[in-house]
Structure 1
Amino acid sequence: MKLDLLLRNAEIITMDPDRPVAGSLGLWQGRIVGLDEDLDGLDAAQVLDLGGATVTPGFIDAHCHTTWFGLGLAELDVSGARGLEELYELLRGAVANPGTDGEGWLFSTGFSQTQHGGSFPDIAELDRITGERPLFMRHNSGHMAVVNTAALRLAGAESPSFPDPDGGAIVRDAAGHPTGLVQETAQELIQRLILPYSLENIEAALERATLYYASEGITSFTEAGVGGGWIGHSPAELAAYQSASANGRLHARAQVMPVLDVLHGLGGHASDSAGAAPAGLDLGITSGFGNDYLSLGPAKVFLDGSLLGETAAVSHEFCSHGHKDNRGNVGYFQADPAQLRERIEAAYAAGWSIAAHAIGDRAVDLAVDIITDCQGVYGQRRLPNRIEHASMTRPEQLARLADAGIAVTPQASFFREGGDGMTASLGPDRLPWAYRAASFLDAGVMLAGSSDRPVADGNVLRGMQAFVDRRTGSGAVFGNPAERLTPHQALAAYTSGAAAATGTLAEKGTLTPGKLADFAVLSDSPLTAPAISELQVLATAVGGRFTYQSTHFHAEPSSESPYAARVSASRVSATQSS
C-alpha cells in the first residue's frame, strides 16, 4: 500500500500507554496506519520531515459554546476594557459607527464585573449612550447579561412590578427599578426578541469559530447546548451544523448537546421506553446519533447558575458582597428539583445520556442522585453521563462520581480571570473543594479538559498550563495546591481523557493505529517545556487533512525523496505564542 502522508523525524507523544512515544507516523484515508517500524517498506504520497517538532493527539475541548463564540467574533468585544469608562467609550464608538446592523440591536460580548473592580454599568449611562437602540451585552459567564431600558421596554419588563421568571431575576435597586442586570432565565425575556438567528448566520459563526479552533490545535469539541433555552440560537441549530459540515465550513469534529428544553413527547408504543417516558427528538434519535464528524451528545440540563454570579446552588452561603447582599445566599436551582428529576428521568428513559450543569455542591448532589437512580433503573448509556463544571465538590462526593462512572468537566481556564474573585466568594473553608483536578483522577473520576469558551479563555495550551500551576491573576495558587496536575495529566485531560468522557476513545484521543488521524504539531513538548502556555501550534490536522498551518510550518523540497518535504523553522522560540 502507499500511504497518504508520512510524518517523520518527530517527537510523537501518542498518549497510548502501550506505545507512548514514536518518531514516525503513517496515515492513510484519514486513519493512523502505524508508527516507526510498522511503516518499514511503505511509500507515501507526501513525506513531511518535522525537524524534531512535537506531535500530539489533536486537542479536544469537551465543553464550549461554539456558535456563541463565533457570533461574538463579529460583535463588539468589550473584554479588553478595564474600568467602566473604557467600556462606555467602546459602546459610544459602536453607536457612532453602527456598521451593517444600522440602528438595530447593539450586541456586545465579553463583559465581566471582575474587569471593573466588581462594578456593573450604570443603566442611566447606558441609556444616555444608546438612546432608544436596544442593548444586549452578555456576561462572559453566560449566566447573566446587561441590557438597557430600551431592551427592557421592548420585553415589557421595565415596570418595577414585573415578576421575576422562575430560575432567574431582573436585578433591581432599592426603589425597585431595574439596574440593567438580568440573571439566568431572565435573559430569555430579552433573547425572545432576538432569536432565532438565521441558519446562514449560525453557519458563518461556526466557520469563524472552528478556523480559530484549528489555529489552537483543536480537532474536536462538544457544543454544550443548542436548540433552546438561553443558550440556544435557533430551534433548527443542528441544521446549521449539518450544512456547515457538508459545505466544508466546519473545521473540527463536533459533538452537539441539545438542551433538555427541546426534548418533547414522541407518542411511541406503550411498550417502548419512549412511550413510557416520552422525552426525545423526532424519529426517536438519541445520544450518539451521527458520524465521526458530527454527532449528538448527551442532553444538556441546567441545574443551577454560576460561581461568579453567585447563583450556584451551594451548601454554605457565599462570603463576598458584590452586587447584592449575600446574607443567606446559597444560590438556587433553575427549577424545582422534583420537576428537574422528572424531566431528566423522562429523557434518560428514552435513551439519552445526561450532561447536567452543576456548579455548586448542592447541585452536584442533585445531579449524582438523579443520574445514579436513572442508571439503576435503565442501565448505563454508551456515552458517559456527565456533570458539567462540577466546580464545588465535597470530599465524599468523589467516590460517588467514580462509582457511577460520571465524567466531569472542570475548567482550569477560569483560574486566571476569575480565581481571585471566587476565592473571596467561597472563603477559606470551602476553597479546597473548588475546581478539583488531581483528586478527581486519584478517585478514578473521568476528567475532561474543556474551556467553556467564550466564558473563559479557550486556548488549550494555556488551559494545560493552568491545570499545572493553578495561578490566578494576582499570581496566587487557586484552591488547593495539591490539585495541580502533572504536564502529562494535563495533556491527557485534553486528549485521551476528553475522548473517554465524550464516549469517543475508541476513535480518537490517542495516536494509535486504526484511530482517526487527528493531530497537532507543536514547537516543543508540553511534557518538558518550561512554560506550556508559550508553545506554538505549528499545524493541526483532522483526518489527516491540515486545517491549519502556521507561517513556521513550511513544506520545502528535500533531496531524500521525490515526495519528501521538510518543515523549516519548526522549533521556533518557546516565547512565541500562537
Structure 2
Amino acid sequence: MTNPSTTRPVTLYRGGVLHCPADPGATALLVRDGRIAWLGVDADAPAADRVVDLGGALVTPAFVDAHVHATDTGLALSGLDLSGVRSAGGLLDAVAGFAAGLPADAVVLGHGWDESGWVERALPGAAGLGRAAGGRRVYLSQASIHSALVSEAMLVACPEAAGAAGFDASGWLRRDAHHVVRAAALASVSREQRVAAQRVALAHAASLGIAAVHECGGPEISGEEDFTGLLALSGAGLPEVYGYWGELGGAARARELGAVGAGGDLFADGALGSRTAHVSGAYLDGEPGACGHGYVSAGQVRDHLLDCAAHGMQGGFHAIGDAAISTVLEGFAATAEKLGVERVRAARHRVEHAEIMSRRLIAGFVEFGVVASVQPAFDRLWGGAGRMYESRLGLGRSLESNPVGAMHSVGVALAFGSDSPVTPLDPWGSVRAAVAHHNPVQRMSVRAAFAAHTRGGWRAVHRDGEGVLALGAAATFAVWATPAGVDRGLPVLQASDPEARGAEDVTPLPVCRRTVLRGEAIYEEGSA
C-alpha cells in the first residue's frame, strides 16, 4: 500500500496545444504517479490536486540527446569557449584574457576552435600559446575533440606524448599523442570542478527541453570516475543519463560501471576536422594520399560484438569515414555468421556519427539493424559549398555526407544528438538542420526529424514505450513558447518564403518554458 505522505500530487496541465497524434484535439493532460493518466479537452478534465495553466503553449514529448560529453560541455559553458574566434590572433587574445584570471599553476582549458572557417588558417604554435598564457600549461581542444593545441609547458609535462602517433612539435596534437595530453589536462580538473561542470551541462540540457542524454565515455574520453560520477546525477532533479562505455572488449567493465552499452566513442576512426576520419578517397587539403586512420580491424569489431552478446550488452562504435564504417560492417557480418542476423539485429548495436556513407553502407545498417546516432548540426555547420567538408573532401563528396534523409527513407533507426560540446545542445536547431540539409535529397520532414530526436533516442536505449504523449506513457514532456506558430502539432521552424529557408534560416525557434521528467519538473522558466 502506498504511503499517503509520499504520494505525489496529481497534476492537471490544461489550456495547451498537445502534440498527440492519437488525440490531435487534446488541450490537457493529467499526471499521476509519473505517468499520463488522462488526455483530452479542458472541459472534460478530471479533478486534480494541482492545476497548471499552459496559456496556449505547445506540449511535446521531451527531447533525448543521443550523444553528449557532459563534463566537457559544462567546462565549455563555464570556461574558455573558442567557438567564436576567427583567427590565430583572436585565439591568442582569448587565451591571454582567460589566463589572466587564473592562478600561476593552473591549466588553461579551452574548447571549440575551428580553423576551417578562418580566412587565414595558420595556427599559433606551442611557444605562442605559452606566452599568451603567461607560461601556464594550455590545452585547447579543436571543435571535433579529436585534436588539440597545447603549449610548450604542457608538452614538457607530458614527455611520453613525443613518442606517440600524432605528435607534432608545433603543439597541434592528434591521435595517441592527443589522448596522452588530454588525459593529463583533464586530470587537472578537481572532483568539485568536475561535478559542478556536469551539473551545469545537465541543467542547461533541461532548460532546452531535454529530459535524457546519452553520455559517451571511455578510457580515452573521460575516465571511470568522471563516468560513474555523472551516472550518479542521473534523474536527481536533472535529465536522466544513459551511459556508453567505449572500451574494446570491455562489455563486462561497461556493465560494472553502470553503462547501458559498450560502445559510443569506441573509435573505429577519428574526425574529419582533424583529418583522422578513415575515408576511402584521400583528403584534398591534407598530405598527398592521406586517408585518415582506422583504429580497429573487422576481427576486432567481431570480437567486441561477440563479447557484448556474451554479457547481454548493446555494442557500438564511433565511425565517421566510409572506410571505417565499411570495416565496422565487415565485423557485423562476421558476428552474424556466428550468432545469426536476427540476434545481431535484436541487440540494436549503434554507430555514432556515420557521416560519409554510400548506398552499400546504408544497406548494411538496414541488414544488421544498426542504430545511426547522428548529429544533423554537423551539416549545418560544415556542409555545403565553401565549408569544411568541401575543403576536406570536395563538393561532390561533401554533399553526400550526413545522409539522414537517405537513411530514414529506407528504415534505418535514427537517434539525433549534438555530440556536445562539438556542437551546442540545441534540439530544435538539430531538427531544423535535418529539415534544411544542404543537399535537398537528404532533407527530412519536421515530424520525422522530431521523432528521431525524441522517440528515436529512447528506442536506442531499448525503452520503446517512451517519447510519446499517450495514456499510460511516462509523463516526460516539454512546454514551449512558439513565436513562429504551430502547424499540425509541431512548431513552425522554417520561413514561409522558400527563398529564405536553408541552413541560415532565422525563423525564431521555440523557447522552453518547462521540462517534466516522469512527472517531476526538472526545469521551470524563471526558477533559480
Residue identity in the other structure for 1:534:
L
Equivalent position of 1:568 in the other structure: none
Tell me by how many angstroms 1:256 deviates.
0.5
Tell me by how many angstroms 1:39 deviates.
9.7
Q: 1:486 to 1:331 in 2, by over 3 A?
A: same
Equivalent position of 1:394 in the other structure: 358
* SS in structure 2 at match of 1:44: coil
The answer to whether residue 505 in structure 2 is matched with residue 544 in structure 1 is: no
Residue identity in the other structure for 1:542:
L
Which 5+ residue runs of structure 2 have no aligned equivalent? 1-6, 496-506
Residue identity in the other structure for 2:334:
D
Equivalent position of 2:413 in the other structure: 446
* 1:74 aligned residue (70, 75, 78): 78
Q: 1:549 to 1:347 in 2, by over 3 A?
A: same
Give TM-score, length-normalised by structure 2. 0.87
Tell me by how many angstroms 1:509 deviates.
1.0
Structure 1 segment 178-193 matched on structure 2, within 5 A = 178-193=169-184
The answer to whether residue 230 in structure 2 is matched with residue 258 in structure 1 is: no
Equivalent position of 2:116 in the other structure: 114
Structure 1 segment 272-311 matched on structure 2, within 5 A = 280-281=252-253, 285=256, 296-300=260-264, 301-311=266-276
Residue identity in the other structure for 2:13:
L
> Which deviates the most, 109-118 or 298-307?
109-118
Tell me if structure 1 keeps the 8 A contact 2:26–2:41.
no
Supply the distance in 2 between the matched residues of 1:431 and 1:110 (Cα, whole angstroms): 22
Matched pairs, number: 495
Tell me if structure 1 keeps the 8 A contact 2:67–2:213.
yes
Equivalent position of 1:29 in the other structure: 33
Residue identity in the other structure for 1:359:
I
The answer to whether residue 313 in structure 2 is matched with residue 345 in structure 1 is: no
Structure 1 segment 341-420 matched on structure 2, within 5 A = 341-378=302-339, 379-380=343-344, 384-419=348-383, 420=387
Normalized per residue, which structure has more helix?
A: 2
Which 5+ residue runs of structure 1 have no aligned equivalent? 172-177, 264-278, 290-294, 471-476, 554-578
Tell me by how many angstroms 1:90 deviates.
1.4
Structure 1 segment 90-239 matched on structure 2, within 5 A = 90-98=94-102, 101-117=103-119, 118-156=121-159, 162-165=162-165, 169-171=166-168, 178-196=169-187, 197-226=189-218, 228-229=219-220, 231-232=221-222, 234-239=223-228
Supply the distance in 1 between the matched residues of 2:252 and 2:305 (Cα, whole angstroms): 11
Q: 1:190 to 1:386 in 2, by over 3 A?
A: same
Supply the distance in 2 between the matched residues of 1:21 and 1:62 (Cα, whole angstroms): 30
| Residues 112-167 of structure 1, C-alpha deviations (whole Å, 9 max, x = no match) | 21343333223332132235321111112111111011111111158xxx4333xx
Tell me by how many angstroms 1:331 deviates.
1.2
Tell me by how many angstroms 1:415 deviates.
2.5
Q: 1:20 to 1:410 in 2, by over 3 A?
A: farther
Q: Percent of aligned positions with the same letter in both sequences?
A: 27
Residue identity in the other structure for 1:183:
R
The answer to whether residue 443 in structure 2 is matched with residue 484 in structure 1 is: yes
Give TM-score, length-normalised by structure 1. 0.79
The answer to whether residue 447 in structure 2 is matched with residue 496 in structure 1 is: no
| Residues 474-530 of structure 1, C-alpha deviations (whole Å, 9 max, x = no match) | xxx2xx211111111121111122222232222x21112222211111113344354
Tell me if structure 2 keeps the 8 A contact 1:211–1:251.
yes
* SS in structure 1 at match of 2:233: helix
Tell me by how many angstroms 1:401 deviates.
0.8
| Residues 172-196 of structure 1, C-alpha deviations (whole Å, 9 max, x = no match) | xxxxxx1111113321221343454
Structure 1 segment 50-61 matched on structure 2, within 5 A = 50-61=54-65
Q: 1:402 to 1:139 in 2, by over 3 A?
A: same
Q: 1:303 to 1:427 in 2, by over 3 A?
A: same
Residue identity in the other structure for 1:84:
A
Tell me by how many angstroms 1:22 deviates.
2.3
Residue identity in the other structure for 1:394:
S
Tell me by how many angstroms 1:533 deviates.
5.0
Tell me if structure 2 keeps the 8 A contact 1:518–1:541.
yes
Q: 1:205 to 1:461 in 2, by over 3 A?
A: same
> Which deviates the most, 483-492 or 184-193?
184-193
Tell me by how many angstroms 1:20 deviates.
5.2
Tell me by how many angstroms 1:253 deviates.
0.9
Tell me if structure 1 keeps the 8 A contact 2:27–2:41.
no
Supply the distance in 1 between the matched residues of 2:70 and 2:200 (Cα, whole angstroms): 9
The answer to whether residue 427 in structure 2 is matched with residue 457 in structure 1 is: no
The answer to whether residue 495 in structure 2 is matched with residue 520 in structure 1 is: no
Q: 1:520 to 1:96 in 2, by over 3 A?
A: same
Q: 1:239 to 1:494 in 2, by over 3 A?
A: same
Tell me by how many angstroms 1:346 deviates.
2.9
Q: 1:3 to 1:125 in 2, by over 3 A?
A: closer
| Residues 269-327 of structure 1, C-alpha deviations (whole Å, 9 max, x = no match) | xxxxxxxxxx5128x659xx6xxxxx6234331100111222111111122x2xx42x2
Tell me if structure 1 keeps the 8 A contact 2:301–2:331.
no
Tell me if structure 1 keeps the 8 A contact 2:62–2:515.
yes
Supply the distance in 2 between the matched residues of 1:313 and 1:57 (Cα, whole angstroms): 37
Q: 1:102 to 1:243 in 2, by over 3 A?
A: farther
Q: 1:97 to 1:201 in 2, by over 3 A?
A: closer
Tell me if structure 1 keeps the 8 A contact 2:346–2:369.
no
> Which deviates the most, 508-517 or 344-353?
344-353
Supply the distance in 1 between the matched residues of 2:348 and 2:298 (Cα, whole angstroms): 22
Residue identity in the other structure for 2:153:
A
* 2:396 aligned residue (400, 410, 429): 429
* SS in structure 1 at match of 2:521: strand
* SS in structure 1 at match of 2:357: coil
Residue identity in the other structure for 2:451:
A
Tell me if structure 2 keeps the 8 A contact 1:3–1:43.
no
Equivalent position of 2:47 in the other structure: 43
* SS in structure 2 at match of 1:121: coil
Question: Cα RMSD between the aligned structures?
Answer: 2.6
Supply the distance in 2 between the matched residues of 1:309 and 1:238 (Cα, whole angstroms): 25
Supply the distance in 2 between the matched residues of 1:243 and 1:103 (Cα, whole angstroms): 31
Equivalent position of 2:16 in the other structure: 10
Tell me by how many angstroms 1:374 deviates.
2.5
Q: 1:131 to 1:285 in 2, by over 3 A?
A: closer
Q: 1:345 to 1:200 in 2, by over 3 A?
A: farther
Supply the distance in 1 between the matched residues of 2:181 and 2:358 (Cα, whole angstroms): 36
* SS in structure 1 at match of 2:241: strand
Residue identity in the other structure for 1:345:
L
Residue identity in the other structure for 2:416:
G
